[in-house]
Amino acid sequence: MNVEKTIQSSNEPSCFTCEVNEHIAHITLSRPEQLNSMIPAFWTELPSLVRALDARGDVRVIVISSTGKHFSAGMDLSVFTNMAEDFKGEPARRAENMRRSILALQDAFNALEEARMPVLVAIHGGAIGGAVDMVCAADCRYCTEDTFFTIKETQIGMTADVGTLQRLPHLIPQGLIRELAYTGRNWSAHEALAQGFVNQIYPSQEAMLDAVMKIARNIAINSPMAVTGCKQMINYTRDHSVSDSLDYMATWQAGMLQMPDVFEAMEAQKSRRLPIFEPLKPINEKK
């Protein structure tokens, strides 16, 4: 594979590997022996990695997959152990500190939603607890036939608090999300497909990754301005009225719709070639 860049630094992630090729960043959960459980480092490494990719400007799609038997077993026990310290001390200060801790955990998955480019998640085996929170924040979900989803928090005596209960009601029927949350039962791949939570099911992880990478390449050949505009508008309309969303669309288009990408797309189609688009500006670039 002609890899443009492997994301490395002096603080190399302990929970992930990442490669960028053909404008596609492939993030892989890389703790298979531990079922890719979400240890404390996970919650800082994921948003840092996603925001670093977003800041580059040349990345047009992020694909997230995993290794081992399961996509992720969710929150690691060590996180709960660390949080136990938050229950000590004066009640008001204890509660304020707990609130900030939960907001920090939520931020890890907010990063997926806030990224300028689409995030596609390829899921196999179990997506348990925090893993459901994670995939709910992605743009598109794909899975293998053996995949199952579980809102596990209910069964361990707590309410899911990092995104599932806020995002999943926008993705599946109200009655089903309530049943899944109240019972904590396993939700099969085929049921998830029937309810529109996943886009497609594949017979194997290899077949799934091949298909998802093809979808990512099809996204990456389009104007990055057009694609990020789509993501911005879809996310906005989820949380606002149709009227407000149409008004925001008009304002966005007044500033963002420029002719170079339109002309390039039309010329490429006419010439039967792939279009060449300027990357988005790096986030830290002043001008």
Asked if the model's pLDDT at residue 1 lies above 60, the reply is: no
Check pLDDT > 90 for residue 287: no
In the chain, % of residues over pLDDT 70: 94
Higher confidence at residue 213 or residue 83? 213
Domain with CATH 1.10.12.10 in the chain: 224-271
Mean pLDDT, all residues of the chain: 92
Range(s) of the chain covered by CATH 3.90.226.10: 5-220
- List Cα–Cα distances, 170 to 34, 237, 251, 257, in angstroms: 31, 11, 25, 28
pLDDT band at residue 77 under the 50/70/90 scheme = confident
Structural tokens at position 219: 């996204």
Whether the predicted pLDDT of 81 surpasses 80 = no
* pLDDT (0 to 100) of residue 35: 96
84 vs 157 pLDDT, higher one: 157
Convert the pLDDT of each residue in 136-147 to its tens digit: 999 999 999 999
pLDDT score recorded for residue 4: 42
Q: What is the 3-state secondary structure (H, E, C) of the chain?
A: CCCCEECCCCCCCCCEEEEEECCEEEEEECCHHHCCCECCCHHHHHHHHHHHHHHHCCCCEEEEECCCCCCECCECHHHHHHHHHHHCCCHHHHHHHHHHHHHHHHHHHHHHHHCCCCEEEEECCEEECHHHHHHHCCCEEEEECCCEEECHHHHHCCCCCCCHHHHHHHCCCHHHHHHHHHHCCEEEHHHHHHCCCCCEEECCHHHHHHHHHHHHHHHHCCCHHHHHHHHHHHHHHHHCCHHHHHHHHHHHHHHHCCHHHHHHHHHHHHHCCCCCCCCCCCCCCCC
Each residue of 191-236: pLDDT tens digit?
Answer: 999 999 999 999 999 999 999 999 999 999 999 999 999 999 999 9
pLDDT value at 245 more than 50: yes
Mean pLDDT, range 171-189, rounded to an integer: 97
Q: Determine what percent of the chain is predicted with pLDDT higher than 90.
A: 84
Q: What is the mean predicted confidence (pLDDT) over 113-119?
A: 98
Task: Please write the tens of the pLDDT for every residue from 158-179.
Answer: 999 999 999 999 999 999 999 9
Strands 5-6 and 16-21: antiparallel
CATH number of 224-271: 1.10.12.10
* CA distance linking residue 207 with residue 191, whole number of Å: 20
CATH code for the domain defined by 5-220: 3.90.226.10
CA distance 57 to 6: 16
What is the distance between the alpha carbons of residues 287 and 283, in angstroms, rounded to a whole number?
A: 10
Q: Say if residue 107's pLDDT is above 90.
A: yes
The pLDDT score that the predictor gives to residue 12 is 77
Q: How confident is the model at residue 37 (pLDDT cuts 50, 70, 90)?
A: very high
Q: What is the pLDDT of residue 285?
A: 56
12 close to 34: Cβ distance less than 8 angstroms: no
Give dist(CA 123, CA 104) in Å, integer. 24
User: What's the pLDDT score for residue 80?
Assistant: 73
pLDDT digits (tens, 9 = 90+) for 4-24: 444 444 467 899 999 999 999
Is pLDDT larger for residue 117 or for residue 84? Answer: 117
